[in-house]
Amino acid sequence: MTRKTERGAPEPVQVVKQRRDAALTALVDGVPYIQFLGIGFDRRGDELTATLPFDQKLIGNPMIPAIHGGVTAAFLEVAAIIELSWSMMWEDVESGRFDVASLSAGDLPRLPKTIDFTVDYLRSGLPRDAYARARVNRVGRRYASVHVEAWQDNKTRMFAQATGHFLMPDRDE
């Protein structure tokens, strides 16, 4: 769904892409911990892939070396929350109802709150970049369920996965 200009023609695709990118950047930049860990997001249409670039500070056990389990859990939780928030914002971003300038100025929608988050550590996270994709399983007015999978070199060889349940913010706020 795209906005139409005064003449009724659809907005140029570049304008829509810029609005999507600006909204995602504002959402991610609004969480300082995401910046601390260095997590980024690659957007293709409505699909997001979280990226955790390798940094020495992420290593928990230098003898193995392996990414710290807390970093892995945080990475998965961030991917879940941003995917859930992005899916809630998508219609408003597409229609242009979101004022991207106000988003960039810090007037962000409230993020979902974690109720519980269960991580399955499948193998050690190696000292290299990691990727994650979240899938929203259910979203209602008050509650949402999200599943996340993380991998490094090969998407079919996950090193961790998680399921989280989230309390949804009021849509009116």
Angle, helices 69-95 vs 13-29, to 10°: value is: 140
For the chain, 173 residues long, the average pLDDT of each consecutive 10-residue run is 57 82 88 95 92 95 92 98 91 74 70 97 96 96 97 97 95 60
Within the chain, where are the H helices? 13-29, 32-37, 69-95, 100-104
Query: How many residues would you count in the chain?
Result: 173
Q: Which of 97, 86, 105, 73 is nearest to 2 (CA)?
A: 97
Q: Are 39 and 78 in contact (CB under 8 A)?
A: yes
